[in-house]
Structure 1
Amino acid sequence: MPKEVMGYLDYPIPEQSKSYLPSQDILNFLESYADDFKVKEHTKFYHIVLLVEPKGKLWTVKVKDLKNNRVEEYEFDSVMVCNGHYSTPFIPKIQGQDSFQGKQIHSHDYRIPETFENQRVAVIGAGPSGMDIALEVSKLAKTVILSHHMTVEIKTQFPENVSQKPEVVSMTGKEVVFRDGSSEEVDYIFYCTGYKYSFPFLSEACGVTTEDNHVRPLYKHLIHTRFPTLCFVGLPFYVCAFSLCDLQSRFFLRILDGSLKLPSTEEMDADADEEIERRRKCGLGRRQAHMMGPLQGDYYDDLAKTAGIQGIPPVMTKLHNESSQRFLDDLVNYRNDVYRILDSENFVQVK
């Protein structure tokens, strides 16, 4: 994403000539944020959360101190779950994959393209990681097949050794069979199929389910409808991530300080069900329950209006969606684009 949509409203990424920054620059930005707001002073490092469990109106939290190898127990008034959702790989079940005679890897474990030199590679999934990896691996691989079910046309001009195919439906030996009936032999299956929402530290008493990556029961993708002092920050994807997490955190704080009175459990559940139905009518399945993309602006506005807090300027959504389309249209060159935000509604591409 361009840096213009990656900062915080009150702490933007410093101005510079490029829009697309290397990961080290983003890490430096986050380190500066943590230093300026003294985040590290209030953080316990080298502790892993073992259990989060409701106890009356409080929460019991057990953690392991990794340095001293001891378990500690605390009680809190509220809990914010902010463990992200890019650590537990999701690999779809495909007929014959257990006996596939080539190698299989998930994008989570990808490091260098040299591994695939002169190999025949099938990349499953055309999200951001799938597109990026297909292009990068193609520089050394013999052939690359990008297998996906996208209905939006991918206009990117890939190298000649990259072809596109529909979903893989089965595997036999080293042969993969696609939904259109065609088949190809490959040496590697590369799963760029995303991740699972995972909360192994939540007790069963929390009543949280993640069936098909739909985290429930949540009000506005955020608040547990039965335990409203438990929230999940950062579940939505295809969003302006830093600003989203900031907005969700401010929403939750309004609940904690009593400024925002929540509807009843039944009303919150009904609100969530109504949104899922709206998404279904837009063609989104359960696995897209927390996907935003073009819908993100409405979500930001809803949170801000409901809690009476500052929202995210519309220009952020517009630029995020524009840059996402550019990614699909010109994967090779989109990182050379340079943007400038003019005001809360408008931006220009200056290069």
Structure 2
Amino acid sequence: MARVCVIGAGAAGLCAARHLLVQETVSEVDVLEQAAQLGGTWVYTEKVGYDDFGLPIHTSMYKSLRTNLPKEVMGFPDFPVPESEKSYLPAKEMLAFLQLYADKHGVTSHIKYNQHVQLVIPKAGPAGELWDVSFKDLRTGVSQTKEYDYIFVCNGHYNTPFIPSIPGLKEYEGDVMHSHDYRVPEIFSNKRVLVIGAGPSGMDIALEITNVTDKVILSHHLKEQPKTVFPDNLVQKPDVIKLEGRTAYFQDGSFEDVDVVFLCTGYLYNFPFLHESCGIVVEDNCVEPLYKHLVNIYHPTMCFIGVPYYVCAFSMFDLQVRYYVQSMNGSFQLPTSEQMAEHWEEEKKERASRGYTKRQAHMMGPDQADYYVSLSSESGTEPLPPVFTKIHNHSSGRFLDYLTEYRNDVYQLIDEENYVCYRGKACFKGEF
């Protein structure tokens, strides 16, 4: 009977525990959560910097955040988000949904809160590899080490800011801030703000702070200019080539004086608790070696849930967990380590041939449907309905070109292939 350690009680960790708890081959499930509540990145706090125990604040949630995907693809395949009039929900509703999910499936009682995972290290056991996990109770300061048969790494990847290398950034004379520490727009009142990065948070926040700022300069390298009509006090610029004093210089030869450099530049995968003998290396934000972005190739009793991005997150977590649990209970057998390594190398080459950089190793987007099919077909698990990917791709396109209004769209699932999208009184069928 397997003893399983799940690291993190965000959506991925809750999903892992939900499926593990119904396995006859699993005797024990411990969910180790550093915070005092479940929810991971969906927990909002006004605190930034460090928590009461001196550890970095995990969440990057800002006060006004609404989902950038409709709730129709934000739930789990067997547990959708409850019906409501809106498709794009506030973060607190998603947090309540996760609490409901955990309670419904008996996960809540298995979560150990305020547990800081210090070290995960493999060791030889009488019947194969085992894991020692050392963790500290932050309330008592007492550490313990416990033995497990499997490790599910579910600590998320929206908590360690990526700081780009921009000449002059360290010497910049104004304020420098990362979106990880953004909570409310008022901190930028009457300032000229350079926002670097046009991902979901960069675009969202840049738009939000136009209400309080003198001027917003949105610097990005999107291949196609968004069609969104921004307020007059927002201008778009190409990449920053250097900062001098309080002046930002751009690739097109222009320059702007700014009070704040606001980095919306994304996050780094970070697993500080993994001993080097786990064999996992993160270089240029590529986590390897992972088979199917999921299985630790040389220690296959360790898996990582939620590494790919630009996906239907909760549904993908569910599919990844079901895939891996099927390998645990013997429903199918993972390839050998050599075969998995060969597959990983081939995938990297194939993605590179299509223009993906190493830093984009886990970016899915248009590749997500094929990824989901590969997981379900190999493991014999129930596939994700194709309509999920269709809605994701449609919503993502609307986000870029209609940022100021796309969250008014309301989606309705028709069947596994089709959906409709309502915009005001207009109704659009779901093949675009």
TM range (shorter): over 0.9
Could you report, residue by residue, the CA deviation over 1:185-216 in whole angstroms, capped at 9, with x for unpaired residues? 11000000000000000001111111010000
Paired with 2:257 and 2:160, the residues of 1 have a C-alpha distance of 28
Aligned length: 351
Counterparts of 1:162 and 1:96, CA distance in 2? 24
* Pair 1:194 & 2:194 matched: no
- What letter matches 1:114 in structure 2? E
Q: Please, which of 300, 309, 313 is the counterpart of residue 385 of structure 2?
A: 313
* One-letter code aligned to 1:86: Y
Aligned to 1:23: 91
Once the two structures are TM-superposed, the CA of residue 308 in structure 1 deviates from its matched residue by 0.6
Q: How does 1:63-212 map to 2 (within 5 A)?
A: 63-212=135-284
Give the drift of 1:67. Answer: 2.2
Paired residue for 1:336? 408
Counterpart of 2:121 in structure 1 is 53
- Corresponding residue to 2:418 among 336, 346, 350: 346
- Partners of 2:82 and 2:185 in 1: how far apart? 32
Separation (CA, whole Å) in 1 of partners of 2:240 and 2:276: 36
The structural deviation recorded for 1:339 is 0.7
* TM-score calculated relative to the size of structure 2: 0.80
Query: Any idea what SS the aligned residue of 1:215 has?
Result: strand
Equivalent positions of 1:256-335 (< 5 A) are 256-335=328-407
Distance 1:17 1:70 in 2: 47
Deviations 1:307-347 (A, max 9, x none): 01011111000000100110001110011000101110111
* Deviation (angstroms), 1:281: 2.2
In structure 2, what is the Cα distance between the partners aligned to 1:137 and 1:287? Answer: 29
Gaps of 5+ in 2: 1-68, 424-432
Stretch deviating more after TM superposition (256-265 or 305-314): 256-265
* RMSD of aligned residue pairs (Cα, Å): 0.9
Matched position secondary structure for 2:341: helix
Q: 2:105 aligns with which of 2, 19, 37?
A: 37
Match of 2:308 among 219, 230, 236: 236
Mapped partners of 2:355, 2:405: distance in 1: 30
The TM-score normalised by the length of structure 1 is 0.98
Partner of 2:319: 247
Residue aligned with 1:28, SS: helix
TM superposition shift of 1:68: 2.1
Hey, what's the Cα distance between the residues in 2 that align with 1:87 and 1:22? 20
Q: Partners of 2:97 and 2:217 in 1: how far apart?
A: 37
In structure 2, the partner of 1:5 is: 73
- Seq. identity, %: 53
CA shift digits 1:205-239 (9 cap, x unpaired): 11111101000000000001100000000001111
Three-state SS of the structure 2 residue aligned to 1:302 is helix
Query: Shift of residue 348 of structure 1?
Result: 0.7
Aligned to 1:14: 82
**Secondary structure of 2:330's aligned partner:** coil
> Any unmatched runs of 5+ in structure 1?
none
Take 2:118 and 2:241, find their aligned partners in 1: how far apart are those partners?
38
- Output the CA distance in 1 between the equivalents of 2:356 and 2:286: 12
Q: Tell me, in whole angstroms, the C-alpha distance in 1 between the residues paired with 2:409 and 2:278.
A: 45
> What is the CA deviation profile of residues 67-122 of structure 1, one whole-angstrom value per residue up to 9, with x for unaligned ones?
22111110100100000001100010111111101100000001111111111111
Aligned equivalents of 2:279 and 2:252: distance in 1? 41
Deviations 1:254-273 (A, max 9, x none): 11112221112121111111
Give 3-state SS (helix, strand or coil) of 2:202's partner.
helix
> How far apart in 2 are the matches of 1:156 and 1:91?
27
Q: Which amino acid in structure 1 is aligned with residue 242 of structure 2?
A: S
Residue 139 of structure 1: how far off its partner (Å): 1.1
Question: Which letter maps to 1:302?
Answer: S
CA distance in 2, matches of 1:290, 1:152: 22
The ranges of structure 1 where at least 4 consecutive aligned residues each deviate by more than 3 angstroms after the TM superposition are: none
Counterpart Cα distance in 1 of 2:340 and 2:253:
45
Letter in 2 for 1:40: T
Say which SS state the counterpart of residue 381 (structure 2) adopts. Answer: coil
Deviations 1:151-205 (A, max 9, x none): 0331110011111111111110001111222211110000000000000000011
Most deviating of 224-233 and 149-158: 149-158
Give a deviation string over 1:258-307, Cα, whole Å, max 9, x none: 22211121211111112122221222111111111111111001000010
Report the secondary structure of 1:317's partner residue: helix
Paired with 1:28 and 1:137, the residues of 2 have a C-alpha distance of 27
The letter for the 2-side match of 1:82 is C
Q: Output the CA distance in 2 between the equivalents of 1:146 and 1:283.
A: 25
What amino acid sits opposite 1:89 in the alignment?
P
Instruction: Give the whole-Å Cα distance in 2 for the aligned partners of 1:350 and 1:140.
Output: 31
